[in-house]
């Protein structure tokens, strides 16, 4: 991503996910894939996606699953 405006928008979208889901850490991989993880979780919890909106949906799904199963607390 060479466009500074696009990079800034992506960074803001990832920080927005972290604000809404404080225990998650988000980043963009070198290949453009977006990732989110819960640091220190056992077992490790990581989700990935192609867009920030899809990543937010994956984090939301993982949070819902955690509430339903009692995992990753």
| Per-residue pLDDT tens digits for 38-60 | 999 888 999 999 999 999 999 99
Instruction: Compute the average pLDDT of residues 2-25.
Output: 94
| Per-residue pLDDT tens digits for 22-40 | 999 999 999 999 999 999 9
Domain chopping of the chain, boundaries: 4-69
Three-state secondary structure of the chain: CCCHHHHHHHHHHHHHHHHHCCCCEEEECCCCCEEEECCCCCCCCEEEECCHHHHHHHHHHHHHHHHHHCCCC
């Amino acid at each position: 991503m060479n466009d500074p405006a696009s990079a800034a928008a992506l960074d803001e979208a990832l920080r927005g996910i972290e604000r809404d889901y404080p225990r998650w850490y988000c980043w963009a991989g070198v290949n453009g894939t977006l990732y989110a993880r819960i640091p220190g979780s056992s077992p490790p919890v990581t989700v990935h996606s192609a867009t920030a909106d899809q990543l937010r949906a994956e984090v939301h799904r993982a949070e819902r699953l955690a509430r339903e199963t009692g995992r990753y607390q």
